[in-house]
């Protein structure tokens, strides 16, 4: 892992892919523990019991894709896009850029986020999903910044905690670049 240059910033190695993979394994183990049938039978679950795995675009695409491969229970994939960042700073305003791609009425929704910092986006998203008729909303994040997390809503599945620093890679971006990096880098 070497330094990477994105726009006007320099990023240095922070979390290698091998560690990211272990983080995802841990999240998948917790989800499988909560959602697998006792006999791990994929085909025996009733259709109405199949949870919706909600990928929050674009940041959690890589996390959601790898997580899905490790799940031992059926899920329906859905997506939506929210926005609250400009450059390296949160605006504090959550905008729904692309609406939810499926009906969630009466369904359990597992929200897949790449990272949670203050938690404001999650609070707004959970309200929106419950208003759309979700029977339950579980929050799943690859990374959490606990020093800025305001803790208003419980996070059900947290892969790893990191310091409050700006990162890119593995789906995370700086002004739309850097998402394709296999490893995660931190602002130098």
Does the residue 177 lie in any domain?
A: no
69 domain-assigned? yes
Q: What is the per-residue pLDDT across 48-96, written as a single tens digit (0 to 9) for each?
A: 579 999 999 999 999 999 999 999 999 999 999 987 656 556 666 777 8
Task: Provide the domain count of the chain.
Answer: 1
Q: Is 180 part of a structural domain of the chain? A: no
Domain annotation covers residue 145 = yes
What strands lie across the sheet with 184-187, from one edge to the other?
4-6, 9-15, 184-187, 167-168
pLDDT single digits (tens) 120-168:
889 889 999 999 999 999 999 999 999 999 977 789 999 999 999 999 9
69: left (phi over 0), alpha (psi -120 to 50) or beta: alpha
Q: Confidence band (pLDDT; 50, 70, 90) for 44?
A: very low
Residue 175 lies inside a defined structural domain of this protein: no
Which one of 114, 117, 173, 183 is the catalytic residue?
117
Domain range for 157 is 18-36+48-162
Does the active-site annotation cover 117? yes
| 170 in any annotated domain | no
CATH of the domain at 156: 3.40.50.2020
């Amino acid at each position: 892992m070497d330094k990477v240059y994105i726009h006007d910033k320099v990023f240095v190695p922070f979390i290698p892919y091998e560690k990211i993979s272990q983080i995802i394994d841990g999240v998948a183990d917790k989800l499988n523990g909560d959602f697998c049938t006792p006999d791990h039978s994929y085909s025996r679950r009733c259709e109405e019991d199949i949870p919706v795995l909600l990928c929050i675009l674009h940041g959690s695409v890589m996390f959601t894709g790898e997580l899905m491969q490790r799940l031992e229970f059926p899920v329906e994939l859905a997506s939506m896009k929210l926005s609250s960042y400009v450059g390296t700073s949160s605006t504090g305003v959550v905008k729904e850029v692309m609406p939810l791609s499926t009906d969630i009425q009466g369904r359990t929704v597992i929200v897949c986020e790449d990272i949670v910092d203050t938690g404001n986006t999650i609070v707004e998203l959970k309200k929106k999903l419950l208003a759309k008729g979700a029977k339950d909303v579980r929050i799943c994040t690859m990374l959490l910044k606990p020093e800025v997390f305001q803790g208003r809503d419980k996070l059900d599945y947290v892969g790893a905690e990191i310091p409050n620093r700006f990162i890119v890679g593995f789906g995370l971006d700086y002004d739309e670049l850097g998402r394709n990096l296999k490893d995660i880098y931190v602002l130098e």
